[in-house]
Chains A and B, each alone.
Chain A
């Protein structure tokens, strides 16, 4: 399965938007946090897990999805949310804790919910998988179209929830795809130090489902393999496990000194940054020009700036609104 030029540009554009978004958040996050770093300070308090480098995992999969399909993501959700079509302004406002945010400031950056595009995520490692399997079960029982995609990190593949949900999805042949974003690090512990198998995709064989290993963070290959998995799911042929070796260009969260990284790793990851790589591909394949690239980047920048401005301009909720929305 190969993407059309239009699909490639869609993927590239969303990667660029996501990167601009994260870089902007990164800058604003530090406002009020210097010289002394205090997580509670500044316009964006709390933990912040940036997705720089992991954009191919988002676009290569979500290029095959429409708003009816379900995505359940992780504590590092922005790139996937953007590729799934989550309202960027409302997401930015949520991250700022504003009244206009997706949940009016109740959730925050690890709890992004946009019911209009069936996107949600969780800050608990491994809990995306059961929820996605259940959404897939819902579609199957209702005879409604749509597949579910669960994102998880490679660290979550050592959680019981992962194994339980894969087994359940396979037993019930559910239209769900499990996507492992293997960024090689569970906070500071390497995959090698935490995981008995070399490839988590091998674990699929324990649950009689295809396991697909994608080694190089290549959006085109992710597009191809995810497309096959999603088609299988749509055709009622059951779940697939996909493992993507991706790159976490930033720390686990903002403020992470990353002393655990081997010397030279960050530099190497910067060299294999997927965005310049994609640009080069567009140049080689489609005679993509600098002028076209500048225009695309300009539009992406405008989108992000508008979202951030919306967030900055929005009011905070009244504190006592915290008491609402526990129940409906």
Chain B
């Protein structure tokens, strides 16, 4: 492979995650992986592919279907100096193991006055759009981000996925790494081509808690995370046809939350639309709008949000697709803002 080809190498998010984990495992023998079907199978969503072959079953451990036990065990191992990466196959499954997550993983550092570190990564799949029903399609960003003591990241593309994963593994705190199934690059879940981007072969970090301006613009700020970013980019292209210049902010992290980047963008554009595939009420969209409002940013129109209705996710495609956020909904939200001006 020539140098030019190496630079142009594109990866899916799934490949980028696996590559980051492998690179950390090569240089740090404290790093290991646990979860359901993450061994020989390579993870249901492909993000541990190749690890079992390279590192073997001692460091890439298939677990029983016992999330409480193996996430609890990750807390114990992390507290004892290891750096476990565990996978909760679908974020929807948090119900069986949330004690281990929010009462143990997220609080032990505080309860120990900072004496006990819990350096672990919990990676979990999110998102719907492929008719998997209401227990396999949720995002639940805010459920995790609301509770103190854990960092929460969610990449929209493969470059960020690799860098965020590296930073998450190296962070001395617990990190929830949420990856959207439709962005994984697994053909059978649909493929978002914009998520497959150039990924450097070397190790690098994308800092936790730093948003990215994915597209610059001057008329409206569209804030999103994971799938919301892609809806925002598509909407920005449509708005461009109407002569509207949209800026798209990819939060990348929910905890810590980069409020400054959002606030600076809205100061510039004077308009704000927030997009989230998580539920509408009490969620990320409300948090962003509240933060911008509290900062006293003057706005030309009331901010809008495009989020999932407060309903369980329906199965039938006509209902599910109707409920999901989309570029079209963002464009409509912009039109509504203009009407109010």
**How far apart are A119's CB and chain B's nearest CB, in angstroms?**
10
Contact partner of A142 among B76, B82, B84, B117, CB < 8 A? B82
Given contacts A113-B116, A327-B151, contact A130 B109 (CB under 8 A): no
Given contacts A122-B103, A141-B82, A167-B64, contact A130 B73 (CB under 8 A): yes
B74 within 8 A of A: yes
B91 within 8 A of A: no
Check A328 against B113 for contact (C-beta < 8 Å). no
Q: Which of A15-23, A98-106, A258-266 contacts B (4 or more CB under 8 A)?
A: A98-106
Chain A residue nearest in CB terms to B103: A124
Q: Which of A158-166, A182-190, A214-222, A300-308 contacts B (4 or more CB under 8 A)?
A: A158-166
Check A130 against B80 for contact (C-beta < 8 Å). no
Report which residue of B63, B68, B108 has the largest number of chain A beta carbons within 10 angstroms of its beta carbon.
B68
Check A134 against B173 for contact (C-beta < 8 Å). no
- Give residues 93-113 of B contacting A (CB, 8 Å): 96, 99-100, 103-104, 107-113
Kindly state the separation between the CA atoms of A118 and B172 in the bound complex, as whole angstroms. Answer: 18
Given contacts A141-B58, A327-B149, contact A168 B64 (CB under 8 A): yes
How many interface residues does B have (CB within 8 Å)? 45
B190 within 8 A of A: no
Check A161 against B99 for contact (C-beta < 8 Å). yes
Check B99 against A328 for contact (C-beta < 8 Å). no
Contact partner of A148 among B76, B103, B115, B149, CB < 8 A? B76
How many interface residues does A have (CB within 8 Å)? 44
Kindly state the separation between the CA atoms of A311 and B257 in the bound complex, as whole angstroms. Answer: 38
**How far apart are B145's CB and chain A's nearest CB, in angstroms?**
14
Q: A124-B99, A131-B75, A133-B69 are in contact. List 11 more A-B contacts (CB 8 A).
A: A130-B72, A131-B104, A138-B77, A138-B81, A139-B80, A160-B68, A161-B68, A165-B66, A165-B68, A325-B113, A328-B117
Check B109 against A137 for contact (C-beta < 8 Å). no
The 6 closest A-B pairs by CB, nearest first: A130-B72, A134-B76, A134-B73, A103-B113, A164-B69, A113-B112
Report which residue of A102, A114, A115, A164 has the largest number of chain B beta carbons within 10 angstroms of its beta carbon.
A164
B198 within 8 A of A: no
Chain A residue nearest in CB terms to B256: A327
Contact partner of B76 among A135, A160, A326, CB < 8 A? A135
A42 within 8 A of B: no
Given contacts A103-B110, A135-B77, A328-B109, contact A115 B72 (CB under 8 A): no
Query: Can you list, as one digit per residue, whether each of A131-155 has a CB less than 8 Å from chain B (1) or not (0)?
Result: 1111111110110000010000000
Chain A residue nearest in CB terms to B61: A172
Chain B residue nearest in CB terms to A112: B111
Check B73 against A171 for contact (C-beta < 8 Å). no
Report which residue of A113, A325, A328 has the largest number of chain B beta carbons within 10 angstroms of its beta carbon.
A328
**How far apart are B117's CB and chain A's nearest CB, in angstroms?**
5
A290 within 8 A of B: no
Chain B residue nearest in CB terms to A174: B73
B179 within 8 A of A: no
* A interface residues, Cβ below 8 angstroms from B: 70, 72, 101-104, 106-107, 111, 113-115, 118, 120, 122, 124, 127, 129-139, 141-142, 148, 160-161, 164-165, 167-168, 171-172, 324-328
Check B99 against A106 for contact (C-beta < 8 Å). no
Check A168 against B66 for contact (C-beta < 8 Å). yes
> Which chain B positions have C-beta within 8 A of A172?
61
Contact partner of A168 among B30, B63, B108, B113, CB < 8 A? B63
B52 within 8 A of A: no
Contact partner of A325 among B71, B76, B109, CB < 8 A? B109
Contact partner of B110 among A70, A106, A122, A134, CB < 8 A? A106
- Give residues 145-165 of B contacting A (CB, 8 Å): 148-149, 151
B90 within 8 A of A: no
Given contacts A124-B104, A326-B149, contact A134 B75 (CB under 8 A): yes
Check B68 against A131 for contact (C-beta < 8 Å). no
**How far apart are A134's CB and chain B's nearest CB, in angstroms?**
3
B279 within 8 A of A: no
Kindly state the separation between the CA atoms of A132 and B73 in the bound complex, as whole angstroms. Answer: 7
Kindly state the separation between the CA atoms of A114 and B115 in the bound complex, as whole angstroms. Answer: 8
> Which chain B positions have C-beta within 8 A of A118?
80
A and B contact pairs by CB, cutoff 8 A, 9 listed: A70-B76, A103-B110, A103-B113, A141-B82, A161-B100, A165-B73, A168-B63, A168-B70, A328-B117
Contact partner of B72 among A104, A131, A171, CB < 8 A? A131
Kindly state the separation between the CA atoms of A142 and B58 in the bound complex, as whole angstroms. Answer: 11
Check A72 against B76 for contact (C-beta < 8 Å). yes
Contact partner of B75 among A70, A115, A130, A142, CB < 8 A? A130
Kindly state the separation between the CA atoms of A167 and B69 in the bound complex, as whole angstroms. Answer: 9
Report which residue of B63, B66, B151 has the largest number of chain A beta carbons within 10 angstroms of its beta carbon.
B66
Given contacts A135-B80, A148-B76, A327-B149, contact A130 B68 (CB under 8 A): yes
Given contacts A135-B80, A171-B64, A327-B149, contact A113 B69 (CB under 8 A): no
Chain A residue nearest in CB terms to B100: A130
Kindly state the separation between the CA atoms of A133 and B73 in the bound complex, as whole angstroms. Answer: 6
Check B103 against A133 for contact (C-beta < 8 Å). no
> Which chain B positions have C-beta within 8 A of A326?
109-110, 148-149
Report which residue of B58, B73, B74 has the largest number of chain A beta carbons within 10 angstroms of its beta carbon.
B73
